[in-house]
């Protein structure tokens, strides 16, 4: 390894990380004065006097996007340069619509494109599940219908995710590991098992690459909270409400009391789903 080179942080532990340069994964210490996370592009130089190949991180390249979570009361970035958030919607266990709405707000706040992956299409979902599919499909959000189990639809989503860096989010049991494993051709489930047995002592975030698909797997996504978003940020995730709100009679309409409120009007006409409206109100009153 010569001089300064740019690599990608593909594995991140608390004190160290692996930086990939071409096909090499080079261990580096995480600098104390810089916040480096999985997905970051970094400049590294070889460490002097070391027998094994090791690198020293000098700088990080400016991030295109960053995903943040609240950690001990502070916002902390946990993944960088994610371009797509794939939200899983599954019939069993049924994904609550509030989970999807939350992630649509988070995607909008981070400037990252969301897509919805309806998984387990080999199972017949109940009415509530079908209703959820209809709501999000009619909002015009990119949607894929797949079965992680049979593999149906996976090649379509694989093609779509080429040249993108994706993070899968979903309730436990919705099929994140199954789908990611099949797309990447590795077994992520086994890895999780290892982690729970303490084989990996610190929680690790990884970026997996297969052909042109990049998938980030990070425990950070579990602690993401919605409560800290401003009403404006929340509204960005509710596109249809944002649009309807433009036609409310009063500029400072709170979309609750109803006088001249076009949002409430559209809800009563069935043009805006009640669940979307209710979640919007609950998110904006949750600061
Ligand atoms: N019937 C059916 N089961 C699935 C499908 N995808 C995943 N599963 C099962 O759902 C369970 C949870 O999957 P997993 O990938 O571990 O979910 P995760 O918790 O989101 O990572 C496992 O028993 C999987 O075999 C699918 O498309 N159809
Ligand atoms: Mg899993
Ligand atoms: Zn209104």
To the question of domain 5-60 being in CATH 2.40.50.140, the answer is yes
Digit-coded pLDDT (tens) for 248-267: 999 999 999 878 999 999 99
Contact status, residue 166 vs residue 216, Cβ threshold 8 Å: yes
CA distances, 64 to each of 82, 90, 112, 136, 149 (Å): 8, 30, 10, 27, 34
Q: Is residue 141 pLDDT above 80, yes or no?
A: yes
- Tell me what the mean pLDDT of segment 58-71 comes to: 91
- The contacts of residue 270 (CB under 8 Å, 6+ apart) are none
Between the CA of residue 208 and those of 111, 211, 260, what are the distances in Å?
A: 22, 10, 51
**pLDDT range class, residue 195, cuts 50, 70, 90:** low
The confidence band for 43, taking pLDDT boundaries of 50, 70 and 90, is very high
Instruction: For 90-241, list the strands marked E by DSSP.
Output: 113-118, 143-145, 164-169, 205-210, 213-217
Higher pLDDT, 69 or 122: 122
Asked if residue 117 lies in contact with residue 148, where contact means CB atoms within 8 angstroms, the answer is no
Q: Is 175 in the pocket of ligand 1 (CB under 6 A)?
A: yes
What is the assigned CATH class of domain 66-223? alpha beta
CB of 174 shorter than 6 A to ligand 1: yes
pLDDT of 6 strictly over 60 = yes
In what helix (H) or strand (E) does residue 156 lie, and over which residues does it extend? helix 154-160
Mutate which of 89, 120, 175 for ligand 1 pocket (most atoms within 8 A of beta carbon): 175
Assign 105 to helix, strand or coil.
helix
Give the pLDDT of residue 287: 47
pLDDT at 2: 63
Tell me what pLDDT residue 213 has. Answer: 97
Architecture per CATH, 231-284: Orthogonal Bundle (1.10)
Give the closest ligand to the alpha carbon of residue 255: 3
Please state the domain extents for the chain: 5-60, 66-223, 231-284
pLDDT for residue 3 is more than 90: no
pTM of the model: 0.92
Which residues, other chains included, contact 225 with Cβ-Cβ below 8 Å and sequence gap of 6+? 69, 70
| Cα separation of the two ends of the chain | 50
Banded pLDDT at 146 (limits 50, 70, 90)? very high
- Span 93-137, pLDDT tens digits: 999 999 999 999 999 999 999 999 999 999 999 999 999 999 999
Ligand 1 binding pocket includes 177 (Cβ within 6 Å): yes
How far, in Å, from the CA of 175 to the mean position of ligand 1?
4
Mean pLDDT (the chain, rounded): 91
221 three-class SS: helix
Answer for the pair 70, 76: CB distance below 8 angstroms, yes or no. Answer: yes
């Amino acid at each position: 390894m010569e001089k300064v080179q740019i690599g990608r942080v593909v594995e991140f532990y608390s004190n160290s990380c692996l930086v990939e340069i071409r096909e090499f994964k080079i261990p580096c210490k995480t600098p104390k004065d810089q916040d480096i996370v999985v997905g970051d592009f970094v400049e590294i130089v070889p460490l002097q006097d070391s027998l094994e190949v090791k690198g020293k991180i000098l700088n990080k390249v400016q991030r295109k996007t960053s995903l943040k979570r609240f950690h001990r009361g502070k916002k902390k970035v946990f993944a960088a340069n994610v371009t797509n958030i794939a939200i899983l919607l599954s019939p069993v266990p049924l994904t609550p619509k509030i989970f999807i709405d939350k992630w649509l707000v988070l995607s909008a706040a981070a400037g990252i494109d969301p897509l919805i992956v309806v998984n387990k299409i080999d199972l017949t979902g109940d009415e509530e599940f079908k209703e959820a599919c209809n709501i999000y499909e009619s909002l015009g959000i990119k949607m894929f219908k797949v079965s992680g189990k049979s593999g149906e639809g996976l090649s379509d989503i694989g093609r779509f995710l080429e040249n993108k860096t994706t993070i899968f989010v979903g309730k436990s049991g919705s099929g994140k590991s199954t789908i990611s494993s099949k797309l990447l051709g590795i077994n992520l489930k086994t890895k999780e098992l290892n982690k729970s047995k303490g084989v990996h002592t610190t929680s690790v975030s990884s970026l997996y690459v297969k052909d042109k698909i990049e998938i980030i797997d990070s425990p950070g996504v579990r602690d993401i909270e919605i409560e800290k978003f401003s009403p404006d940020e929340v509204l960005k995730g509710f596109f249809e409400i944002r649009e309807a709100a433009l036609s409310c009679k009063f500029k400072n309409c709170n979309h609750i009391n109803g006088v001249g409120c076009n949002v409430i009007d559209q809800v009563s006409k069935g043009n805006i789903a009640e669940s979307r409206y209710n979640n919007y109100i609950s998110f904006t009153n949750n600061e």
